[in-house]
Chains A and B, each alone.
Chain A
Amino acid sequence: MQKTHTSPFIQAVQVSKRYPGAVKPVLEDVNLQVQRGEFLAILGRSGSGKSTLLNTLSSLVLPDSGSIYMEGTDICKVKEKERNRLRSHTFAMVFQQHHLLPYLTALENVLLPFMGGLGHVTKAQRQAALDMLENVGLQGKENSRPGTLSGGEQQRVAIARALARGAKVLFADEPTGSLDSVTGDAIMQLLHSLNKQGVTVIMVSHNPEYARQAQRMVTMQDGRIVGIAHAPNE
């Protein structure tokens, strides 16, 4: 891996994507650079391709053409095993709907990425999960199932799961979308504090106020990036 201080942490180069059967491409020649430790917000109208861009950056969706570089390596060209490893170790994802497994407890959901190899969960991993649940303010709820938790609490479990294994990048797709404003504010605070701890955050949001709290705002329209704005107070 080529690592230089000047090369961006994550970089999308001429990324295009069209879903099978669709007439128009969802992404058209998108170029984007994300720096290490950055807090980036992606804005745009519904259907403009925000989620698709986020998912190509996180390797959940492979683009039709173009490249996604992570610390200089094209993650679209590496073996699938390598992408699995990235998703279990380096990347973390949080979605509008928290995507927890309903029959697992909060703690087990946080431990899920550790179970990918079907191996035994170590004591250290368990402790990391408990620490992370406490970090997001869920101490005492470790053994609750998602169905018995509030929307905000479920989102916290998802964030804890995303970060318990020391992920470096957090991809968040409308993390506050299903929450009321007070709970949403709390989740945003949590994301900012994680960002201060060194986690790179890439967040899709419809909420301009939350987007403005980011260091940079990328605006999308019809599958293209039409504007990049830096936060005024940065």
Chain B
Amino acid sequence: MPLRANVAIIAPKLIATAKIHGKASAVVGVDWQEELALKGYWEVHGEFPSPTATHDALVGASLAQSLGIAPGQTIQVQGQDFTVRGVLLPTGSDDDAVLFAPLAAVQTMAGKQDQATFLEVAALCSGCPIEDIVLQLQEALPGTEVKALRQVAESRMYAVHFAQDLAFYVSLVILVTALAMIIMSMLSSVNERKKEIGIMRAVGFSRSSVFAVFVSEALGIGALAGLLGYVAGCFLATYVLASLHLTEGPVQLFSLQHLLATTALVAGAAALAAAFPAWKASLVEPADSLAAV
């Protein structure tokens, strides 16, 4: 059964190298309409080129940065003028390092009329019989190399977003559970330490001092937990990211601001959770320390 109906996008590409501002760079000739349909996850600083424009360009994030290109600028590629409509936001893929230009313009520039380096084909269906589509394409285009790209960019982005959402909700659940545990364990600790609190009250601690003792204890423990948690989380995240192949190369996850913010947040949450047990502690009477005798 021909699976042509399943093929939604066919994006031809011609890859050439060209000098941009005197620096050798990769230029990818694309059919805007197909390419933009395929790369639905692209986000742009500026705007996307119009499908019919002949000399519009789109620049990858890292290339734009290294060449100092901004949207709206006109650049020279192999002596031809192109208007940069937009700069792509980082995608974490090869797209970051190249310049996208209209296919026809690149074909002319490279002297390869009506040629393409490869065709990117997108089959939009869930549970697509990828293997079959590959086979049929192979039969239809003898002498062509047909490869299934399992890690399609879109599913990649989906995985990233899914992981982010999941991480957020799991963190939220963990935070709430942790706060409940702080309350429970501090309540029992207040009970165990009644005598101790009684001693403090007997030597003149006021109720508010006792309250402050317990809250500041939680504050200290919370700060330590936040600190350790952040560091451990960084290590774990690095490991998980590496094993999921979601990123290429090492990622800089650690930041001092995040560390301080996490520490302050956890310490504050712990102190908040400690408020009720600490209030209970402040109600202990000095004579309670004598009851056990």
**A interface list, Cβ under 8 A from B:** 51, 55, 60-61, 80-81, 84-89, 93, 95-97, 99-101, 112-113, 115-118, 161, 173
CB proximity of B261 to chain A, nearest CB, Å = 27
Q: Which residue of A lies closest to B199 (CB)?
A: A99
27 A-B residue pairings within 8 Å (CB atoms): A60-B202, A60-B287, A60-B290, A61-B287, A80-B206, A81-B206, A84-B204, A85-B204, A87-B202, A88-B203, A88-B204, A88-B205, A89-B204, A93-B202, A95-B290, A99-B202, A112-B199, A113-B203, A113-B204, A116-B203, A116-B204, A116-B205, A116-B206, A118-B209, A118-B213, A118-B216, A161-B203
Q: Is the CB of A112 within 8 A of B287?
A: no
- Which of B203, B286, B290 is within 8 Å of A112, CB to CB? B203
CB proximity of B143 to chain A, nearest CB, Å = 81
Q: Is the CB of A51 within 8 A of B204?
A: no
CB proximity of B1 to chain A, nearest CB, Å = 78
Q: Complex: how many Å from CA A5 to CA B201? A: 32
Residues on A with beta carbons closer than 8 Å to the beta carbon of B199:
99-101, 112
Residues on B with beta carbons closer than 8 Å to the beta carbon of A61:
287
| Interface: B26 (CB within 8 A) | no
| Interface: B146 (CB within 8 A) | no
CB proximity of B291 to chain A, nearest CB, Å = 10
Interface-centre pick from A93, A116, A161 (highest chain B CB count, 10 A): A116
Q: Complex: how many Å from CA A80 to CA B209? A: 13
Q: Is the CB of A51 within 8 A of B206?
A: no
Complex interface residues of chain B between 79 and 130 (CB less than 8 A to chain A)? none
Residues on B with beta carbons closer than 8 Å to the beta carbon of A51:
290
Excluding A99-B202, A99-B289, A115-B205, 16 further A-B contacts by CB distance (< 8 Å) are A60-B286, A60-B287, A80-B207, A84-B201, A84-B204, A85-B204, A86-B204, A87-B201, A87-B203, A88-B205, A95-B290, A96-B293, A100-B199, A113-B203, A118-B212, A118-B213
CB proximity of A66 to chain B, nearest CB, Å = 17
Per-residue contact bits, chain B 268-293, to A (CB 8 Å; 1 contact, 0 not): 00000000000000000011011001
| Interface: B179 (CB within 8 A) | no
Q: Complex: how many Å from CA A37 to CA B207? A: 31
CB proximity of B269 to chain A, nearest CB, Å = 22
| Interface: B134 (CB within 8 A) | no
Residues on B with beta carbons closer than 8 Å to the beta carbon of A87:
201-204, 286
| Interface: B16 (CB within 8 A) | no
Q: Is the CB of B212 within 8 A of A116?
A: no
Residues on A with beta carbons closer than 8 Å to the beta carbon of B200:
112, 116
Q: Which residue of B lies closest to A102 (CB)?
A: B196
Q: Is the CB of A55 within 8 A of B290?
A: yes
Q: Complex: how many Å from CA A101 to CA B194? A: 12
Residues on A with beta carbons closer than 8 Å to the beta carbon of B287:
55, 60-61
Q: Which 3 A-B pairs have the closest CB atoms?
A: A88-B204, A87-B204, A113-B203
CB proximity of B202 to chain A, nearest CB, Å = 6
Residues on B with beta carbons closer than 8 Å to the beta carbon of A115:
205
Q: Complex: how many Å from CA A118 to CA B205? A: 9
Residues on B with beta carbons closer than 8 Å to the beta carbon of A84:
201, 204-206
CB proximity of B277 to chain A, nearest CB, Å = 18
CB proximity of A43 to chain B, nearest CB, Å = 18
Residues on A with beta carbons closer than 8 Å to the beta carbon of B203:
87-88, 93, 112-113, 116, 161
